[in-house]
Amino acid sequence: MSDVVAIIPARGGSKGIPRKNLRRVGGIPLIGRAIQAARRCDLVDRVCVSTDDDEIAAVAEEWGAEIIRRPADLSGDTASSESAILHALDDLEAREINVGVVAFLQATSPFIDSEALAGAIRLVQQRRRDSVFSAIETYGFLWRKGTGDCAEAINHRADRRPRRQDREPHYLETGAFYVMRAKGFRTVQHRFFGSIGIAEVPERTAIEIDSFAELEFARALSPLVDVPEPLDVDAVVTDFDGVHTDDTVTVTETGVESVRVSRADGMGVARLRAAHIPFLILSTEQNPVVGARGRKLRVEVLQGVDDKAAALREWADAARIPLSRIAYLGNDVNDIPAMDIVGWPVAVGDADPLVLSAARIVLDRRGGDGAVRELAERVLRARRGPTSVPFLHENRTTP
């Protein structure tokens, strides 16, 4: 039996968008999104990331990929994707892995359609096609600049404008995936050979990120394209102000501060504790109220922290919990560095716009109004399936 292997080239030296493969769309690194798409496809036996970069390798491993270390001479600006795939096949062959079909995925395509990928693999497995690529159907009138920058029609006659229903469609490569017979690819060393097939994908998925503008467009589109997933994590970390509270404070004439918290949030934390899910409050605030609330909830607190990302890494390492298995709930811009290193960055409903764009999930509840409880219930549902739990909604003042 031969394997279907997904290979994702991801070098570290991208120029247009530095560290592009680690940039996030919908709260997930681009390399993680490509790995997810491959793993969702039941026909893929193993997912490999070819990289020269230690950080990309570490992130890819956390998202479930095998790592193939690419040599420097195949990692420069002029190195082709084909060369990376050929090197990966050599590596797999050296480990006596029999690769029958190669699925070449590009991390720069954030919305890879797993069902279309499966359809392409079937075409190659059944010998109906030798190579298949993802594309969208288009009826666009294409032009080019000719002599003296004069416009010239390409796929139509300029003097004849037929109706859409009278025209033959064309297909535009999306760059998301290419599926090939491994033996044929080795022979021609190119992704197109033999009988070539087209895997049609939805137009909304046809984005390839090569510029910051395209990255921002993908981030804006992700809430409309991404399918909601169970919030499956091993630990929950939250900010305090604006998450457990409504981000307001009452100050007495003697300077004593008090904040409002939600009893529903307290119940949510208690339910997580009962399920043996580690919970940490991570805050820059030095006011004793943070520690007091942590003691009340019987959870660990780190406060007065300036570098939340560094503190979170240290805590996760000590607890031996992969960052990809942590949910971090935040509300303001100082939470973004921590959100950017976890697998599940989550925002309260009234978070800063930059935090909303960095989140994988945006909660319905606002900070101090049951957001922590909502997150807790989502985590518990992912572990136990849907449950019917009454939602408490009562606030009180904590000195």
**For residue range 338-354, what is the model confidence (pLDDT) as tens digits?**
999 999 999 999 999 99
**Predicted pLDDT at 79:** 84
Closest CA to 84 of 21, 135, 172: 21
Three-state DSSP at 361 gives: strand
CATH number of 235-398: 3.40.50.1000
In the chain, the percentage of residues whose pLDDT exceeds 90 is 81
CA separation for the pair 330, 355 (Å, rounded): 7
**Predicted pLDDT at 344:** 97
CA separation for the pair 372, 365 (Å, rounded): 8
**Predicted pLDDT at 393:** 38
Res. 183: pLDDT tops 50:
yes
Per-residue b or e along 26-35, where b marks 16 or more CB atoms closer than 10 Å to that residue's CB: bbbbbbbbbb
**pLDDT band for position 168 (50/70/90)?**
confident
**For residue range 186-203, what is the model confidence (pLDDT) as tens digits?**
999 999 999 999 999 999
CA separation for the pair 208, 325 (Å, rounded): 27
Residue with tokens 């003296």: 148
The mean pLDDT of 218-230, rounded to a whole number, is: 91
**For residue range 55-84, what is the model confidence (pLDDT) as tens digits?**
999 999 999 999 999 998 888 888 899 999
**Predicted pLDDT at 399:** 33
Pairing of strands 24-25, 28-29: antiparallel
The mean pLDDT of 361-365, rounded to a whole number, is: 95
**For residue range 245-287, what is the model confidence (pLDDT) as tens digits?**
999 988 888 888 889 999 999 999 999 999 999 999 999 998 8
Neighbours of 296 (CB within 10 A): 12
**Predicted pLDDT at 250:** 86
**Predicted pLDDT at 257:** 82
Phi, psi of 30 (to 5 degrees): -55, -40
Closest CA to 91 of 50, 56, 41: 50
Signed CA dihedral, 180, 186, 190, 193: sign only = negative
> Where in the chain are the domains?
3-138+166-225, 235-398
- 245: DSSP letter: B
Q: For the chain, what is the mean pLDDT?
A: 92
Contacts of 389 (CB under 8 A, 6+ apart): 377
CA separation for the pair 8, 107 (Å, rounded): 7
**Predicted pLDDT at 389:** 41
Tokens of 364: 């319905």
Closest CA to 59 of 105, 28, 15, 101: 28
Res. 43: pLDDT tops 80:
yes
In the chain, the percentage of residues whose pLDDT exceeds 70 is 96
Topology, domain 3-138+166-225:
Spore Coat Polysaccharide Biosynthesis Protein SpsA; Chain A (3.90.550)
Contacts of 399 (CB under 8 A, 6+ apart): 256, 258, 289, 292
CA separation for the pair 136, 198 (Å, rounded): 9
Sequential DSSP letters for 327-348: EEEE-SGGGHHHHTTSSEEEE-
**Predicted pLDDT at 390:** 39
Share of the chain residues as helix, strand and coil, in percent rounded to the nearest 5: 35, 25, 40
**pLDDT band for position 2 (50/70/90)?**
confident
- Stated pTM of the model: 0.85
Three-state DSSP at 274 gives: helix
Tokens of 128: 């109906």
**Predicted pLDDT at 179:** 98
**Predicted pLDDT at 385:** 60
**For residue range 100-127, what is the model confidence (pLDDT) as tens digits?**
999 999 999 999 999 999 999 999 999 9
Helices (H), the chain: 30-40, 54-62, 81-94, 114-125, 182-188, 212-225, 263-274, 288-297, 308-319, 336-339, 353-358, 371-384
